Chains A and B, each alone.
Chain A
Amino acid sequence: MSQQALERAIQQIGAELAASFPSAARHPMRALDSRAMELASSDRELRAALFRFVDVAPACRSLDDLARHLTGYLGEVSETPPPIAAAVKVAHTKAGRAALGAAAAGGVRHLAHRFIVGETPGAALGVLRQLWSRGVASSVDLLGEATVTAAEADAYARRCADALADLAGTARGWQARPLLERDSVGPLPRANLSVKVSALTPLLRPDAPALGRIDAARRLRPLLHEAHRHGAHIHIDMESLDSREAVLGLVLELLGEQEFENGPSAGVVIQAYLRDSGEQLEQILDWAASHSRSQPIQVRLVKGAYWDHELVQARQHGWPAPVYEVKAECDRNFEALTLRLLEARPLVRVAIGSHNLRSVAHAIAVNRQLGGQECDLELQVLRGLGDELQDALASRGFRVRTYCPVGDLVAGMAYLVRRLLENTSNDSFLLRMNEGDSIQELLAAP
């Protein structure tokens, strides 16, 4: 198939997916009142003020405290729209602050329910089962505070072990969903947990990756055994570049050991926004080629969520930017890595984590072009941000897995927003769709 034919296929698949989206009225940020959403998306300062508020909410001690912070942030917005100005005015009295604080706290919880599937894995099981019954697989991510002590790392590891047991125990009772639990290589676990190495050790040091790698291994090793025992999948998330060497080194080292040859199912992440992501992928493919595992390692390709962080850090230190600074370059790299990954099967299992309609359509088209089956390509989205895409993909018979944060609503929302706050230029397909870009523009080749 020629490049032109591929391009036609991408356009067609993209258009079909777009047509399967729920109606435009239910746009991706519907959790916010439409009025608030309109205000917030029209004004970056206001959006930043609201993000800062959600970020600080768990640290506020009273309704009064909440209201003072909210009005403090709104006070820094240069042109406050009338409803916001009214809210600021209300906060001049103690009673007004209590009312505003209560409303704001309610707002945060309201918002949190859209992104967080439950306060504990147990509480999330209902939502996960519903997703499963609608043809959507999941991966659970346990939200929590940063790990700065050994005790915190131990506690996170315990939460992970408990989550594996909960998920695996319950998922056994779910109805059969062949598309979600088998590919050409073999069975796929129903229970799927995403794990952050930065939470498994307080010793991640960018200049000394071995220190964190060795400490995290002490806690990851038992988790891999647990996952194997329960028949669950463990996915090791990738975070900022500072920890990449430790994370990848840790995973490849442990999974390469003989004791894990027959499981568990496990995966790593490649971030396409990194300029050297191609080399990283080759490293993983070389590793996969030299290690025989009964279940191939899954590689989740994502754009990367720390773009602003990476760029700011590089600028502050005078380093060359490790990330692509032009979106189109990043998108082109994403497509190149997609092709490389799909060609490398069955050495690896492939998951494409993107809300970019073009990137998703491209992966599907390339998979077909290579003669791959639909079940050999997994598509992944984020809970609360990719819900429409998730439904569209599921309805068209693709295996879609939704990344589901679990944790305290208010604190958990703050962790999520912190990522958004630090990465406000990570504007994606979603915002562009919100802003009314046409489907042709969204599907254009990068």
Chain B
Amino acid sequence: MIPPFANEPVLELRRATVRAEIDAALADLDRTLPLSVPVIIGADRRSGADLRSTDPGEPERLVAQAVRAGSDDVDAAVRLARAGVAAWCARPAAERADALRRAASWMRERRLELAALQVRECAKPWPEADGDVCEAIDFLEYYARGAVELDAGRALVQVAGERNELHYVPRGVVGVIPPWNFPLAIPCGMTAAALATGNAVILKPAEQSPGCGLKLVEALRAGGVTPEAISLLPGEGDTGARLVSSPGVHMIAFTGSMQVGLEIIRSAAERQPGQRHIKHVVAELGGKNCVLVDSDADLDEAVPAIVSSAFAYAGQKCSAASRVLVHEAIFETLLKRMKGAVEVLVVGQAAELATEVPPVIEREAQERVARYAELAAADGQIVTRAQPVPDHGFFCAPTLAASLRSGSPVLSEEVFGPLLTVEPIRTIEHGCDIVDELPHALTGGLFARDPSTVRYVRARTPVGDLYVNRGITGAKVGRQPFGGNRLSGTGSQAGGPDYLLQFVEPRAVCENTMRHGLEV
């Protein structure tokens, strides 16, 4: 009997004894770098050094080198997965769940090592990296339980003379294409959901974090997932594109940018020669997340929560706050306090526990953030961007902007970096109108203390995740199912009770029982 699900406890880093362990873990990891990330198809491994992943805070540090999977690799992986999926899905759901839960144990035993790898490969600060590992463990544990439950099927209306059954079967071969910003948790979540429900998975990790992708496959294999059911194809966009267009793939689970997501949906909709199914796409795309602050908000609470939602991990979360819409009565007060709070943010290396704003992932990201900051200066006013930041590594100064002209791209496009805008609104209704006009609808925040305001925004907001009087990042598996609507995604929520339904096909069976000798 599996015990009920509970979130994996994050490290209690406020305790000196716990903090003492992490430096040692980083030193241990450093001795094993660079990792070599091969193509893994069944029992075959092919190594190479086509791609390099480096430490964003110290770009000379090579974290992993990976081979680039070519179209032959993709085709071979798909062939193997198609052949091997039958054996994997023939295993009872409980056995598949056990394999995933053993993978979770494998990760649990290597928690600090896995977090340290994220510190290096993605410049993810310790508390966030540790949270990511915990989330990966949570996904394995949560979907393992959910799949066992789903395997029992659902109840239908029963009438005399017939027996009606509804059960679920896997879709087949799932291509998983995750981003680098949650380098273990997001690939793990999509992969675990597919495997738990009996699919075979081909994982194409983000080119910025192949090392974390390798660790996921190692965990799953160590847990007992069959080699045919999980393959690893390191590579860049072309590897992913080949996977998406392959006629042998039944489903794509993608998390990343809107642009790539829409391209995947378009490509997947195109029927390839020999393809006898409609490809299903689950896409979790970006956000332009707004925080509404009403005049009765508790600013002591709102200011730190907003600043942390916008600038932690340098704003590189799809859930991060990017626009603050604040009631005009407290606009000046809030802006002044926000300015001061942004000015004391600690910019530094991810390995330092004091760091709140680490470097962004790569030079292109640094340049993109700088472009948006220039645009914000041209379209409005930079409230603060005072901090000198290290010039080595891809650092960006945390930036707070206000008074942007309506229509400025800074107000509608996802920056994915440490840039936050603040603007006054006349009323909460006005704020909701602004949110309504945006193409994205991922997360949203509300700071207000009138119960009727909370009810109003709850009813009106299109976002997938609304957070009231708290920060808007850090969704927990099983507690805050995560995923957005509109152009933010296909509306499925990871870590929630409905997610696994995306990975299965329903099968209804009606049997005539008239000649079974049963009583009517």
Contact A211 B303 (CB under 8 A): no
B300 at the interface (CB under 8 A from A): yes
B9 at the interface (CB under 8 A from A): yes
**Which of B127, B303, B329, B451 contacts A76, CB < 8 Å?**
B451
A370 at the interface (CB under 8 A from B): no
Contact A317 B449 (CB under 8 A): no
Q: Quick one: given A245-B14, A319-B12, are A207 and B353 in contact (CB under 8 Å)?
A: yes
B337 at the interface (CB under 8 A from A): yes
Rounded to whole Å, the gap between the CB of A201 and the closest CB of chain B is: 9
**Which of A76, A146, A318 contacts B9, CB < 8 Å?**
A318
User: With the chains together, A75 CA to B451 CA distance in Å?
Assistant: 9
User: With the chains together, A438 CA to B258 CA distance in Å?
Assistant: 68
Contact A317 B19 (CB under 8 A): no
Contact A150 B296 (CB under 8 A): no
**Which of A69, A148, A210, A242 contacts B340, CB < 8 Å?**
A148
Contact A317 B16 (CB under 8 A): no
Rounded to whole Å, the gap between the CB of B457 and the closest CB of chain A is: 14
B51-84: contact bitstring with A at CB < 8 Å (1 yes, 0 no)?
A: 0000000000000000000000000000000000
Which chain A residues lie closer than 8 Å to B340 at the CB level? 148-152, 202
Give the residue name and chain of the B residue nearest to A73 (CB): B451
Which chain B residues lie closer than 8 Å to A72 at the CB level? 450-452
B403-436: contact bitstring with A at CB < 8 Å (1 yes, 0 no)?
A: 0000000000000000000000000000000000
User: With the chains together, A131 CA to B91 CA distance in Å?
Assistant: 78
Rounded to whole Å, the gap between the CB of B233 and the closest CB of chain A is: 35
Which chain A residues lie closer than 8 Å to B341 at the CB level? 148-149, 202
Q: Range of interface residues on chain B?
A: 35 or more
**Which of A52, A152, A242, A319 contacts B449, CB < 8 Å?**
A52
Contact B9 A149 (CB under 8 A): no
A341 at the interface (CB under 8 A from B): no
Contact B449 A145 (CB under 8 A): no
B148 at the interface (CB under 8 A from A): no
B387 at the interface (CB under 8 A from A): no
A206 at the interface (CB under 8 A from B): yes
A226-268: contact bitstring with B at CB < 8 Å (1 yes, 0 no)?
A: 0000000000000001100100000000000000000000000
B311 at the interface (CB under 8 A from A): no
Q: Range of interface residues on chain A?
A: 35 or more
Which chain B residues lie closer than 8 Å to A145 at the CB level? 299-300
A31 at the interface (CB under 8 A from B): no
Which chain A residues lie closer than 8 Å to B329 at the CB level? 61
User: With the chains together, A65 CA to B450 CA distance in Å?
Assistant: 9
User: With the chains together, A403 CA to B39 CA distance in Å?
Assistant: 68
Which chain A residues lie closer than 8 Å to B451 at the CB level? 72-73, 75-76
Contact A59 B295 (CB under 8 A): yes
**Which of B14, B301, B307 contacts A241, CB < 8 Å?**
B14
Which chain B residues lie closer than 8 Å to A318 at the CB level? 6-10
Which chain B residues lie closer than 8 Å to A68 at the CB level? 450, 452
Contact A317 B9 (CB under 8 A): yes
A208 at the interface (CB under 8 A from B): yes
B304 at the interface (CB under 8 A from A): yes
B162 at the interface (CB under 8 A from A): no
A59-99: contact bitstring with B at CB < 8 Å (1 yes, 0 no)?
A: 11100010011001101100000000000000000000000
User: With the chains together, A211 CA to B14 CA distance in Å?
Assistant: 13
A388 at the interface (CB under 8 A from B): no
A46 at the interface (CB under 8 A from B): no
Rounded to whole Å, the gap between the CB of A407 and the closest CB of chain B is: 14
Rounded to whole Å, the gap between the CB of B390 and the closest CB of chain A is: 17
Which chain A residues lie closer than 8 Å to B307 at the CB level? 148
User: With the chains together, A61 CA to B449 CA distance in Å?
Assistant: 13
Within residues 330 to 378 of chain B, which ones have a CB less than 8 A from any CB in chain A? 337, 339-341, 343-344, 346, 352-354, 356
Mind listing 17 A-B residue pairs with CB under 8 Å? Answer: A56-B298, A61-B329, A69-B449, A76-B451, A148-B340, A203-B344, A205-B353, A205-B354, A206-B13, A207-B13, A208-B352, A241-B14, A245-B16, A317-B12, A318-B9, A319-B9, A319-B12
B interface residue numbers (CB < 8 A to A): 6-10, 12-14, 16, 19, 126-127, 295-301, 303-304, 307, 329, 337, 339-341, 343-344, 346, 352-354, 356, 449-452
Starting from the known contacts A207-B14, A318-B10, 17 additional A-B residue pairs (CB-CB under 8 Å) come to A52-B449, A59-B449, A69-B296, A146-B301, A146-B304, A150-B343, A150-B344, A152-B337, A202-B341, A202-B344, A206-B14, A207-B13, A208-B354, A210-B354, A242-B14, A245-B14, A319-B9
Nearest 6 A/B pairs, CB to CB: A149-B340, A318-B9, A206-B14, A146-B300, A208-B354, A207-B13
